[in-house]
A and B are shown apart, each in its own frame.
Chain A
Amino acid sequence: MRPLLVPGSLFPALVRYSQKGMATEENKNAAAGSDAQPGPKSASQPASQQGFVYLPLIVGWLVPGGGHFLLRKWGRGALLGGSILAMFALGIAMQGKLYAGAHDVLDILGLAGDLGNGLLYFVSRIAGWGADQVMVTTADYGTRFIVVAGLLNVIAAVDAHNLRTGRKS
């Protein structure tokens, strides 16, 4: 007896996207209407597409620009790492506050932003850098610089992850 539903026979022209990102070879072939099936995973994907997918995300969070260095994006990594490091260093130099605990909602948000700096935050806490309390006006700017450096670092780490998965080229 002939089966009622043959996979792929009802909608042969349907473009099926993989879950690996938008710019993968499979998606490009599907969007171009190519019927050619990609080869085995090891043959169709470069060496940088293999291994632990979240490694650039984690390395990028711990070390600013590290995720891009891992993917051999040297220029982007240097610019991102330099910018984030400079913002963090300026914040510390301006006697910005490093959030240590979560006493209220604003402290929780500040702590979350600071934690985005990865190892920079932990090293700074251990070394005792940053002010405990904001005493001067520039220290308030410095506190914001440190928080925003952490948030930018998270964006950079996610960008490294997108490059790794092929969502971004």
Chain B
Amino acid sequence: MTHFAAVVLFAFFASIVFGITQREKPRDMIRYGIYCFVLFVASAIVLSWVMFLIAR
């Protein structure tokens, strides 16, 4: 399993739990879950680029 695949799986399952537990209405749960998923994956990509540039 690649690091990116692990990140995507982690973000997917964690976002489901965050969406259900942090919002009350189903529509808000879905929206917040998607929001968390995008933030997880995007921040992982940005941080990995930052670490790559620092390590060069």
Contacts and interface: CB of A to CB of B under 8 A. Distances in A.
A99 to B, nearest CB: 19
Given A138-B1, A138-B6, A152 B14 contact: yes
Chain A interface SS verdict (over half): helix
Interface stretch (A4-12, A33-41, A42-50, A80-88): A80-88
Chain B interface SS verdict (over half): helix
A169 interface: yes
Interface string B1-13: 1010010011001
Interface residue tally of chain B, by bracket?
10 to 19
B40 to A, nearest CB: 11
A148 B17 CA distance: 11
Interface residues of A, number: 21
A20 interface: no
B20 interface: yes
B14 A148 contact: yes
Nearest to B9: A90
Interface string A126-145: 00000000000010010011
Interface of A: 76, 79-80, 83-84, 86-87, 90, 94, 138, 141, 144-145, 148, 152, 155-156, 158-159, 168-169
